[in-house]
């Protein structure tokens, strides 16, 4: 863990972990505007525009890849891959929710929901409730921004303002969650911000709240070589400086690069779930979004895996 995190830290949409939600929304906005878009998020751009984070708005710039290419082709390749990754990840979990509601699940929980707009943009069946858990200021920003633009949820949306390091199961129950009903859970863009023991505790709590018929999807957090992390830190700082952009938030200072982290699919299989995992590279390659980089280490682990499970 880097210097920007502590066990009791908090954030809004323009600071710390909150800013990463803006980055993800910007990537969704860019993908939505592509003629061959994998996803459709009509609300991503408006959520980015009012966030006031500075650096991530650059992802909306159509000429950014060309600018980076002129400075450092390797950084340009990583930047392109990063945007493509977010699109593919979103597509994968959109399909997961479509399958869950097709199977009759009507209770959804999105953990650390950030600027996720699925409660507004997906076609939810009547009677679906979407619980969103996150820091209070993050939830407030999203709801206020979308309401100001006349956007209403397409399901019953319930905001649960609670840090996942606190007693979020109690807060979820108090908000009307029914443990006896099957639930579709999502942990997307979350696990890298938790140490290994907190990840295990989180999925233990989810398991305790999951009735038969429940489903779960998550993006795993892989351990990365510190040399690689430092290399990427220096490249992105250098590129931002040369482009006259604000320095980006340092992911190494926000995330836990924990070598003892459990392999999630194996953990779930051992705790009453039936899980499958697909590497992010496989998924990106299958839909034409993978970009090779000279910086890649052929012996390194996959960046992440997309996991789906059911009980």
Query: Looking at residues 197-211, what average pLDDT do you find?
Result: 97
Q: So what's the pLDDT on residue 9?
A: 56
φ, ψ at 132 (rounded to 5°): -115, 120
Q: Which residues contact 188 (CB under 8 A, 6 or more apart)?
A: 89, 93, 110, 116, 217, 218, 219
pLDDT confidence band for 102 (50 / 70 / 90): very high
Q: Which residues contact 161 (CB under 8 A, 6 or more apart)?
A: 134, 135, 136, 139, 140, 171
Nearest to 32 by CA among 110, 91, 97, 80: 91
User: For the chain, what is the mean pLDDT?
Assistant: 85
Between these two residues, 57 and 131, which has the higher pLDDT value? 131
Q: How far does CA 3 lie from the centroid of its chain?
A: 22
pLDDT above 70 covers a percentage of the chain that reads: 77
Which sign does the torsion angle of CA 174, 177, 180, 186 carry?
A: negative
Residue 56 above 90 pLDDT?
A: no
Q: Which fold has domain 19-291+303-310?
A: Rossmann fold (3.40.50)
- List pLDDT tens digits, range 112-146: 999 999 999 999 999 999 999 999 999 999 999 99
Residue 301 above 70 pLDDT?
A: no
pTM of the model as a whole: 0.87
- List pLDDT tens digits, range 134-186: 999 999 999 999 999 999 999 999 999 999 989 999 999 999 999 999 999 99
């Amino acid at each position: 863990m880097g210097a920007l995190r502590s066990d009791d830290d908090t954030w809004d949409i323009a600071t710390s972990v909150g800013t990463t939600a803006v980055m993800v929304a910007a990537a969704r906005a860019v993908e939505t505007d592509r003629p061959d878009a994998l996803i459709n998020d009509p609300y991503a751009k408006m959520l980015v525009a009012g966030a006031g984070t500075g650096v991530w708005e650059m992802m909306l710039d159509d000429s950014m890849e060309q600018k980076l290419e002129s400075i450092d082709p390797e950084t340009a390749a990583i930047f392109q891959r990063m945007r493509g990754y977010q699109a593919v990840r979103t597509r994968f979990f959109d399909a997961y929710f479509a399958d869950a509601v097709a199977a009759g699940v009507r209770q959804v929980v999105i953990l650390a929901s950030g600027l996720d707009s699925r409660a507004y943009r997906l076609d939810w069946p009547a009677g679906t409730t979407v619980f969103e858990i996150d820091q209070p200021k993050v939830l407030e920003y999203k709801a206020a921004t979308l309401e100001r633009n006349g956007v209403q949820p397409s399901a019953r949306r319930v905001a649960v303002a609670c840090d996942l390091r606190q007693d979020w199961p109690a807060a979820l129950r108090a908000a009307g969650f029914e443990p006896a009903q099957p639930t579709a859970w999502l942990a997307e863009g979350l696990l890298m911000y938790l140490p290994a023991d907190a990840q295990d505790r989180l999925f233990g709590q989810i398991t305790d709240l999951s009735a038969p018929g429940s489903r779960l999807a998550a993006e795993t957090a892989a351990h990365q070589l510190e040399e690689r992390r430092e290399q990427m830190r220096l490249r992105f700082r250098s590129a931002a400086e040369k482009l006259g952009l604000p320095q980006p938030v340092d992911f190494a200072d926000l995330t836990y690069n924990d070598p003892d982290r459990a392999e999630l699919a194996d953990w779930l299989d051992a705790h009453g779930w039936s899980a499958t995992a697909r590497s992010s590279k496989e998924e990106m390659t299958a839909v034409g979004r993978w970009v090779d980089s000279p910086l890649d280490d052929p012996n390194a682990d996959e960046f992440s895996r997309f996991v789906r499970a059911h009980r």
